[in-house]
Amino acid sequence: MIRNPHLSETTAAGTASDVAVEWDRGNDQWWDWYMSLADGPVPDGPFVDPPPHDPGPLPSDDEILAELAEPYPVTAAQFRQFQTDAFIKLPGVLTPGTVERLRIRLREMLDESVDPAVGFQSREMMWLEDDLVRAAVLSPRIGGIGAALLGTGQVRLYHDNALSKEPGAGRTPWHYDAHHFPLDSPDVLTAWIPLQPTPREMGPLAFARGADVADLVEDLEFDKHGTSYDRGVSEVLRAQAVQVEDGPFEAGEVSFHAASCFHTAGANLTTAARVVLATTYFADGTKVVPSPTMVSGDWRKFIPGAEPGHVVASDRNPLLERPGA
């Protein structure tokens, strides 16, 4: 067995599926480790230019605030679809101009904090530092969709993430977020907000359709050192003919996936970065799982003071009301 270079002595110890200890490095290192578990070759080009895109005149801060305050009507059919499929892609959640303003802001925030040589760049908790990002992350529009899809009147924020997959960066391995989040509830979801039109060649998030997919792969052993878990999930999905939604995203289209949803993303085979704002919400009253593992990463940063078994309600986890609920 080859030891994964991103693990410490402590997290590397035990068998390949042993993840019982807590993560002992930062979130950047967590992502480096996690992305190293993806199967497949490192892309070596040629890389294509993404199709030209004109977001139009950029909106002012006030225009963006007004847009984000407007509830997005989630229909009964969309609620049922989310419950059945464990994910949904919704068109027109944001205007192309707002998407472009957020992209510019996240790019600035990544560039000031991340080593440009890193292929999968991330930054969390931006809502504490930036008004525009806070407006989006805590918005009645995005948070309200989350609450509507979970069937609750309000949700709390777990965290926000900027996720930039740079040109030539490889696949995101198959996984489900309940494996990561130390949250003891099925009522957890993530809004994945691409900040540019995202064609297939750029590596859009892709989803295994069906709330029962997790049952199909539950016997597979996780592999903290290599790519066998990712490969095993692909094989099971293929063998069981599970449908995978891996289509492109238009500007302003946003997906929401449940913590039980198996998802992956392709390599970025374009010459532009795939920049995403991902925000995770959970139902109020949710507790921390009894024993968080190394797969949960630097979770104490996101729910400070919340100990295993306790309800999560810190000031880093504000409540968002669903408009009209």
Ligand X SMILES: O=C(O)CCC(=O)C(=O)O
Contacts to ligand X by CB under 6 A: 163, 165, 172, 177, 190, 192, 205, 263, 265, 276, 278
Question: Least distance in Å: CB of 76 to ligand X?
Answer: 26
Q: Which is nearer to ligand X, 132 or 278 (CB)?
A: 278
Least distance CB 175 / ligand X (angstroms): 7
Label the pairing between strands 274-283 and 154-165.
antiparallel
DSSP 287: B
Using the structure block, give the residue that is written with the tokens 């709330």: 211
Query: Strand 254-258 relative to strand 172-175: parallel, antiparallel, unpaired?
Result: unpaired
Looking at beta carbons only, is 23 or 59 nearer to ligand X? 23
Name residue, tokens 């993303």: 265
User: Closest approach of Cβ 165 to ligand X, in Å?
Assistant: 6
Q: Residue 23: which residues within 8 A CB-CB, separation 6 or more?
A: 11, 30, 294, 295, 296, 297, 298, 299
Q: Closer CB to ligand X, residue 12 or residue 268?
A: 268
Beta carbons of 154 and 284 less than 8 angstroms apart: yes
Nearer residue to ligand X within complex by CB, 166 or 223 = 166
Q: How far is the CB of 313 from ligand X (least distance, A)?
A: 23
Report the candidate in 126, 113, 120, 116 with the shortest Cα–Cα distance to residue 33. 120
Structure tokens at 2: 């080859």
> Whole-number minimum distance, CB 1 to ligand X, in Å?
26
What value, to the nearest 5°, has the Cα angle with vertex 158 and ends 20 and 34? 45
Nearer to ligand X, 203 or 210 (CB): 203
Q: Which of 40, 44, 117 is nearest to 269 (CA)?
A: 44
CB of 238 to ligand X, least distance (A): 20
For ligand X, the closer CB: 278 or 303:
278
DSSP conformation letters of 169-187 = --PEEEE-GGGT--B--S-
Nearer to ligand X, 202 or 306 (CB): 202
Cα separations in angstroms, 325 against 69, 72, 78: 15, 13, 17
CB 324 → ligand X: shortest distance, Å? Answer: 27
